[in-house]
Amino acid sequence: MIKVGIIGATGYTGAELVRILSRHPQVELVALTSRSYAGEEMAGVYPALTGSTDLNCEDLTPEEVMDRAEVIFIALPHGHAVPVATRARERGIKVIDLGADWRFRDAGTYEEWYKVPHGNHKLAARAVYGLPEIHREAIRSAGLVANPGCFPTSAILGLAPLLQGGYIDPETIIIDSKTGVSGAGRGAKVTSLFVECNENINPYGVAGHRHTPEIEQELSALAGRAVTVTFTPHLLPISRGILSTMYASLARPATEAELRQVYREFYAGAAFVHLLPPGQWPHTRWVYGSNNCHINLAVDSRTGRVVVASAIDNLTKGASGQAVQNLNLMFGFPETMALAGPGLCP
């Protein structure tokens, strides 16, 4: 049993961590921090957890959490994880950060897109980007894992095989993503109100969303050259789920059958990534509440493009489930521990 603390436990990703870890046979939760709900039972804040956890939310300092835990999850707004993770590493405590602070090997990119100084470029250069299907070995030995963003997870998993194999022209990539509202967090904002989101879809952050450079960092590494993408997220009236539809021109003629083989080989051994049968396009409901990623693709022979779609649950594979997957790798547990099993469907 390892002792685990969660800093920022009462946001949606924090609650999802508690949900998953309450079933993890090798984890003992020892600290749930929250400012807003300090002193309340976690099961009072999220009554779905009634009977699954007896823990209270506490307004602990990071130092106090580190006194109890051997690994910490950080689920704080960006900008807050740098000092916490820095100190944790000094104390030899492992860190999985669910925010953006450690996702860039070059912290200058972070500073440019997030408009704040970073504070520890050196450690940023050594953090590991926690997408296990791409960086599994590095994660196993990592002390500080930057859990990927939700959109980047769906986009990178969808495009990685094509870019690594040189099948598409990296200048032609367009990523059109659609996300559920839980991605906006539990903050009380007018734009997240039921009435504002229901019966609606809209684009946002067009030509400037902060997940763009994160996608580009990883795709560039896979392609072995600089990749620039157009990325457009959309908000749709579902609680959980991201679908990314991706377009690129084929670098050389290829059939759908060939490309399917490329995906099968790339994801051999990846327990959570499933290439669906021909013609069965990903539905976000099929991965609802699971750590799975469903992918399919088609060649548009009229235009010489390939169209790829990938679906994940933004709170699970797009955040907390992937974070637990990283934990499993970092501590030598089976990668699917507490994460196996189908989504909740119907």
Compare residues 30 and 236 and give the one whose CB is closer to a second copy: 236
Compare residues 123 and 168 and give the one whose CB is closer to a second copy: 168
Q: Which of 61, 200, 255, 261 binds a second copy (CB under 8 A)?
A: 200
Determine, following the binding rule CB under 8 A, whether residue 329 of this chain makes contact with a second copy: no
Cβ of 333: how many Cβ atoms within 10 Å? 18
Q: How far is the CB of 255 from a second copy (least distance, A)?
A: 13
Q: How far is the CB of 346 from a second copy (least distance, A)?
A: 5
Compare residues 138 and 236 and give the one whose CB is closer to a second copy: 236
User: CB within 8 A of 316, min separation 6: which ones?
Assistant: 16, 20, 240, 287, 289, 290, 291, 322
Q: Which of 199, 252, 268, 332 binds a second copy (CB under 8 A)?
A: 199
Determine, following the binding rule CB under 8 A, whether residue 286 of this chain makes contact with a second copy: yes
Compare residues 121 and 186 and give the one whose CB is closer to a second copy: 186
Binding residues among 207-246 for a second copy as defined by CB under 8 A: 207, 228-230, 232, 234, 236-241, 243, 245
Q: How far is the CB of 191 from a second copy (least distance, A)?
A: 9
Binding residues among 16-55 for a second copy as defined by CB under 8 A: 16, 19, 22-23, 44, 46-52
Q: Which helix (H) or strand (E) holds 64?
A: helix 62-68
Compare residues 200 and 261 and give the one whose CB is closer to a second copy: 200
Nearest to 153 by CA among 97, 232, 211, 75: 211
Cα 312 to Cα 100, 132, 133, 154, 343: the distances in Å are 19, 15, 14, 6, 10
Q: How far is the CB of 290 from a second copy (least distance, A)?
A: 7
H helices of 200-343, in order, are 211-223, 256-266, 321-330
Determine, following the binding rule CB under 8 A, whether residue 154 of this chain makes contact with a second copy: no
**Three-class SS state of 162:** helix
**Three-class SS state of 29:** strand
Binding residues among 3-22 for a second copy as defined by CB under 8 A: 12, 15-16, 19, 22
β-bridge mates for residue 244, sequence order: 177, 310
**Three-class SS state of 217:** helix
Whether residue 150 lies in the annotated active site? yes
Q: Indicate the Cα dihedral angle 161, 312, 322, 227, nearest 10°.
A: 40
Question: The tokens of 289 are what?
Answer: 């509440």
Cα 94 to Cα 38, 294, 330: the distances in Å are 24, 30, 9
Sign of the CA dihedral with 94 first, then 98, 100, and 103 last: positive
**How far, in Å, CA of 265 to CA of 297, rounded?**
15
Q: How far is the CB of 194 from a second copy (least distance, A)?
A: 4
- DSSP labels, 90-101: HTT-EEEE-SST
Residues in contact with a second copy, shown as a per-residue x/- string from 299 to 318 under the rule CB under 8 A: xxxxx-x-x-x-x---x---
- Stretch in the footprint of a second copy (CB under 8 A) among 125-133, 141-149, 150-158, 178-186: 178-186
Binding residues among 113-142 for a second copy as defined by CB under 8 A: none
Q: What are phi and psi of 27, to 5 degrees?
A: -120, 135
Determine, following the binding rule CB under 8 A, whether residue 56 of this chain makes contact with a second copy: no
Compare residues 62 and 152 and give the one whose CB is closer to a second copy: 152
Catalytic position from the list 150, 197, 293, 345: 150
- Stretch in the footprint of a second copy (CB under 8 A) among 62-70, 89-97, 287-295, 319-327: 287-295
Compare residues 116 and 174 and give the one whose CB is closer to a second copy: 174
Determine, following the binding rule CB under 8 A, whether residue 291 of this chain makes contact with a second copy: no
Determine, following the binding rule CB under 8 A, whether residue 257 of this chain makes contact with a second copy: no
Task: Cite the active site residues.
Answer: 150
